[in-house]
Chain A
Amino acid sequence: MHPAPSLILFSSLSGLGLGLLAWASLLRPEGGAALLAFGLGLALAAAGLGASVFHLRRPARARFAFSQWRSSWLSREAVLAPLALGTAALHGLLLALRGESPLALGLLAALLCALTVLSTAMIYATIRAVPRWHHWSVPAHFLALAAAGGALLAAPAPLAAALLIGAGVLVALHWHHGRTAFARAGQSAATATALEGRVRLFAPPHTGPNYVTREMAGQVGRARAGQLRLLALALGLLLPLALLWLSPPLAALSHLAGVLCARWLFFAEAEHVVSLYYGRP
């Protein structure tokens, strides 16, 4: 799948922002600290949502995206995101100005933040045509990364460290699943064409690229997968663990850089079954 910068930025920034808002909603800082935590969380999540608009070819029609929550995870995300941000903002404002806010409001804000991250992940996890994505490890590692990133900025260091390690394990599990996911899904040029025997592409239907080959059958972004995996691990997990007790903001920055690498791989390495029609698994 094409690693679109708008989607990588969106899911990484909004994941971090929503994670921070969830932890801040649960841990209830007061006064200036509340202003800082909720302000940063809202800014990160809003920046992510802003980036996602660049993915749309007709952004003015995004208003219709609130309508299909019964069937579409993308629509659910569109509905949940403003609800989560609004609830967290109200909770944060109360904590900052009055030093107190109803417990239920905080719990609701944290829940909505988690559901928003979940709905982002489910957009990918429900696509059967991409076997690497169609797996529980996708929502699991999206949620774990958001929780760990947010904890780096808002939770006590030991909790953040534990969550970071947990997220690292889930990301590694997702990578492990991904290595063989396409082969295990069992689709081939033969099942794609319903032909029997050994089947291979003899001539493509067009000589240049098209939307399908660019968007879903591209392979360019996979060239440095091994190096990016190392960077994702070092910047996303190891360095933040080391920096956590020195400077949580620096740890979070490094973590974000690691998550961006992992998200690049999430898209670039995902193989879509339509590639079988173009002779590239």
Chain B
Amino acid sequence: MTTLPPPSPVKLGLVIDLDTCVGCQACVTACKAWNTGGTGAPLADLDPWGASPEGAFLNRVHTFERLPEDGGPPQIVHFPRSCLHCEDAPCVTVCPTGASWKRAADGIVLVDEDRCMGCGLCAWACPYGAREMDPVAGVMKKCTLCADRLDDPALEPADRIPACVRTCPTGARHFGDLGDPESPVSQLVAERGGRDLLPDLGTRPVNKYLPPRTRDRAPGAPALDPVATDARGFLGWLDRALSTLPRLG
């Protein structure tokens, strides 16, 4: 059913800390591994060992450069991008087959792989590029928030969280209920000023991004000017001796 369910009190999602992420791609690899070996159809690749491999991923890490307006030091920001499990998910309402749906209990946006006809319209409707067509199965793939891990009794309790969150070596990915203002993730968002991506597009993402803290400014010394002009000792002698030679170029 591709009409959206009434808003659920529980809103499961991710909070991604752009201050902490080091761009190591571990979450990309863990996500790919889990979703290739997991319960659904594998997350396929074309030409995986060849010259131009290509395939479907549910999470990708971009790297941006940020120049603060106040002339502060430039920053490199690693930016993981996956489905934001939007409350007003346009990808769901456009789907003609009913394959795309939003789970009423917790708001996770999912694709029924047995119903999808591979038209690709949902990927067009998503502003965030979160959906990729499986090149082999011909059905739409997207982040499932690891719904197949969350309540699997076969897994250790510590593993019943998304694979990308479990694997992140810097703790930059947090998983929880963003519908509950008291939950640790909601507290983190409140404390750090968590933000929506492309908020004007009306998708109301559940996932939030924590902005990077502003870096300290470098001390004021000009970087390439000599800092000592009264060179003494052997190096002083060498400097004076060299300065007497004619220059070439």
Partners in one complex: yes
By a beta-carbon cutoff of 8 Å, the part of chain A in contact with chain B is 1, 55-62, 64-65, 67-68, 70-75, 78, 123, 126-130, 185-187, 189, 191-206, 208-212, 215-217, 272-274, 277
Question: Nearest Cβ distance between residue A7 and chain B, in whole angstroms?
Answer: 10
> Which of chain B's residues have a CB closer than 8 A to the CB of A130?
124
Q: A200 touches which one: B65, B93, B121 (CB < 8 A)?
A: B65
Question: Nearest Cβ distance between residue A1 and chain B, in whole angstroms?
Answer: 7
> Which of chain B's residues have a CB closer than 8 A to the CB of A73?
94
Q: A65-B96, A210-B57 are in contact. Are A195 and B90 (CB under 8 A)?
A: no
Question: Nearest Cβ distance between residue B197 and chain A, in whole angstroms?
Answer: 5
Contact status B77-A195, CB under 8 Å: yes
Contact status A74-B96, CB under 8 Å: yes
Contact status A197-B96, CB under 8 Å: no
Contact status A199-B66, CB under 8 Å: yes
Which residue on A lies nearest to B194, using beta carbons? A194
Contact status A194-B117, CB under 8 Å: no
Question: Nearest Cβ distance between residue B40 and chain A, in whole angstroms?
Answer: 15
Contact status A75-B96, CB under 8 Å: yes
B240 beta carbon closer than 8 Å to chain A: no
Contact status B64-A189, CB under 8 Å: yes
Q: Mind listing 20 A-B residue pairs with CB under 8 Å?
A: A64-B117, A68-B1, A68-B97, A70-B2, A70-B3, A71-B3, A74-B119, A126-B94, A129-B124, A187-B200, A193-B77, A195-B64, A195-B212, A196-B66, A198-B67, A203-B62, A203-B63, A206-B60, A208-B53, A277-B81
Which residue on B lies nearest to A77, using beta carbons? B96
> Which of chain A's residues have a CB closer than 8 A to the CB of B120?
55, 57, 215
Contact status A197-B66, CB under 8 Å: yes
CA distance A216 to B120 in the complex (A): 11
Question: Nearest Cβ distance between residue B142 and chain A, in whole angstroms?
Answer: 11
B 54-98 contacts with A by CB, 8 A: 54-57, 60-69, 76-77, 79, 81, 90, 92-98
> Which of chain B's residues have a CB closer than 8 A to the CB of A57?
117-120, 133, 138-139
Interface size for B (C-beta < 8 A) is 65
B 209-234 contacts with A by CB, 8 A: 209, 211-212
B115 beta carbon closer than 8 Å to chain A: yes
B26 beta carbon closer than 8 Å to chain A: no
Contact status A191-B200, CB under 8 Å: yes
CA distance A215 to B125 in the complex (A): 12
Contact status B209-A202, CB under 8 Å: no
Contact status A61-B97, CB under 8 Å: yes
B7 beta carbon closer than 8 Å to chain A: no
Q: A72-B95, A129-B90 are in contact. List 16 more A-B contacts (CB 8 A).
A: A55-B119, A68-B2, A71-B3, A71-B95, A75-B97, A123-B121, A129-B201, A130-B124, A187-B198, A191-B199, A195-B211, A201-B64, A202-B76, A205-B63, A274-B127, A274-B128
CA distance A188 to B54 in the complex (A): 27
CA distance A215 to B119 in the complex (A): 12
Question: Nearest Cβ distance between residue B21 and chain A, in whole angstroms?
Answer: 12
> Which of chain B's residues have a CB closer than 8 A to the CB of A193?
64, 77, 79, 197, 209
CA distance A55 to B1 in the complex (A): 23
> Which of chain A's residues have a CB closer than 8 A to the CB of B56?
210-211
Which residue on A lies nearest to B209, using beta carbons? A194
> Which of chain B's residues have a CB closer than 8 A to the CB of A129?
90, 124-127, 201
> Which of chain A's residues have a CB closer than 8 A to the CB of B127?
128-129, 272-274
Contact status A215-B66, CB under 8 Å: no
Most buried by A among B56, B95, B129: B129
Question: Nearest Cβ distance between residue A6 and chain B, in whole angstroms?
Answer: 11
B195 beta carbon closer than 8 Å to chain A: yes
CA distance A130 to B65 in the complex (A): 25
Contact status B197-A199, CB under 8 Å: no
Contact status B129-A64, CB under 8 Å: no
Contact status A65-B117, CB under 8 Å: yes
Q: B129 touches which one: A55, A71, A274 (CB < 8 A)?
A: A274
> Which of chain B's residues have a CB closer than 8 A to the CB of A217?
129
CA distance A128 to B126 in the complex (A): 9
B 1-25 contacts with A by CB, 8 A: 1-4, 18
> Which of chain A's residues have a CB closer than 8 A to the CB of B139?
57-58
Contact status B132-A195, CB under 8 Å: no
CA distance A18 to B239 in the complex (A): 87
